[in-house]
Structure 1
Amino acid sequence: MKTIGYAAYSSDAEMTPFHFERRALRANDVAIEILYSGVCHSDLHTVNGDWGPQPYPLVPGHEIIGRVIEVGPVVTKYQVGDQVGVGCMVDSCQECDQCHDHEEQFCRNGMTPTYGAPDRTTGEMTQGGYSKHIVVREEFVLRIPEALDLSRAAPILCAGITTFSPLRTWNVGKGSRVGVIGLGGLGHMAVKLAVAMGAEVTVLSRSTKKEDEAKAMGARGILASTDEDAMVKAAGSLDLIIDTVPVEHDVTPYTSLLDVDGTLVIVGQVGPMKGFMTVPMIMGRRRVAGSLIGGIKETQEVLDFCAEHNIQPTCEIIRPDQINEAFAAMGQGDIAHRYVMDMSGLSVDR
């Protein structure tokens, strides 16, 4: 299948149009016309080579909303015309204990990311959602509920599941006290989801400049980490902290905010972290943990949860040819919304 996307040809080059071929459908494949593609901070890190050398040319994108245009002969869950999504992975071994437990992201044999990884069958590199079409095996396609706005649903497939999974793992519910570090693409979803679960949510940030935005999302307000008196008064006041900061930083200022047996979960930074003081952890049996995304079953769960609770990511819709400007803005700071590309103007024949 001939298609077109926006690709990076090196770590220091701008994204440019890229014509390429999607594979012919296998028996269990679903072919999708991509309608919207979310822009994730991890796309920027990957393209820049922050996480190691990449197989350029590289088409990023793992927040994909589209419409089924063809299915393989053994596909049973989807038919032409269905509105569907594809998230951060497109394959796994399907045989190990983790896959059987619906935790494909932790596949013992390695899950296959949506872009920049070898296809398990052919070895060719996967290419992501900054494109007009994608072909994915049925087991990794998700159903998009009718109640969701298609133009805003894409970030749920990464930012949504990345924050939903630890909220579920640590049993957040009515009365839970949750802190969210950062109010960017991940953070704003963590706030909305935790509020919908019944939690009392506090945003943690260096300043209170986004307080109105935080309150509009249901948070009680912002606790500024630079306000020493306020931080001291807030000691022991949180059960769970979701840390969405996407760069290296020190978690020490935040661990004392946890109650006894509280947990700070890192979902933002992938890579080295600054050393931290162990005293708050030892003295309160507190924990610093990490979380990736969720499995396919849990990703469908967060899509359904968002539809049920009318949770729509805060998005700015852009054209594909505006991706370099979006990357530049993301590189300058953690904006309190998600960029989503409307792919309708992208034509294979152009």
Structure 2
Amino acid sequence: MMRRIAAVEAVVYRQAVHHRGATPTLAGVPRRHFDALLVRVEAEGGLVGWGECFGLYESWPVVREMLRRIVGPSVIGLDATDPAGSSDAIIRRFHGLGGSGAFMHAVSGLEVALWDIKGKEAGLPLHSLLGGAGCDTVPAYASLPRYGAPDAVTRDTEEALARGFRGIKLHEITAPNIRVAARCMPAEGELMVDVNCAWSADGARAILAELADVELAWVEEPLHPPDDYEALAALRRDSGRVIACGENAASILDFDRMAQAVDVVQPSVAKLGGLSAMLRVAEIAKRRGARFAPHSPYFGPALLATIHLLAAIAPTTPVEAYFFDLGAGPFGDAVMPQGARFAVPQGPGLGCDPDPEVLARCAVP
């Protein structure tokens, strides 16, 4: 029996960050807390699903208005147990708003919430609905913020290793700061670098040449603009490095071109259109021979959805885990790795609803 969507609500909460030393930056801003934009969808009969929209860079007010004014009102009455069909109906109706940005971020959170409802209706966790054989945990790698200071980079690299991580991703953009982390790495470890599009083509070649003796598992988003796939392919050819890209892709179709230019594709469930879009990108990556490694700097439903997805289709692929010590949050330990592994929720849907009391305390008007 179809359950129609009865209500859509945008909920914002703020979670404090506890620093181990110098305040790190994210997108050039000192990071003392994280704001998250949740989507609460209620279906007929009272069944509730939760999703999460991309809202970093303090962009969540724009996405929240998109949810409140366009996406939310427009899905009322659609099938809450058909995530792909209902989200596609909205994308087609409002195609003039484009295939990326605030509109798609809003659709992404909605679509994940519908998957949560679909799983709850079926009484199954999402990894089972997605065809997984069932696993209890998936591996994680530590994604460090940018410090810009060698002492802080060394401290957090060593701390992450002490907590059991063997995959470490930096967001540093200078050779000296990357090199100090490399000195900490054990023989079985993997060091990655996410540049966040900070280098020019000539600058990237110069820095990577300076780091010729440093082994890097991948170099992520080295160039601006991030969708200059010809330039990325040239850098891959000239540097011999493994190149990763994808969190800023404008559409699913971008990944077909991207997967021919880079080695690792990194779609984000909270930006690209939800889990259905992620499954399509995974198929593209497989067809093109690229590695599929989702972008997941989240602490709520977007992270949980990514864990379920990888548990189902790529259980040996590590999940990105932002390396922050957080204050109390509505999703508790379910979004925190233990011993460099995430527990795969076994309850129906996402397997973890937010704690209403904590959510109320953390809520942002």
Q: TM-score, with normalisation over the residues of structure 1?
A: 0.34
Q: Which has the higher helix share?
A: 2
Q: Which has the higher strand share?
A: 1
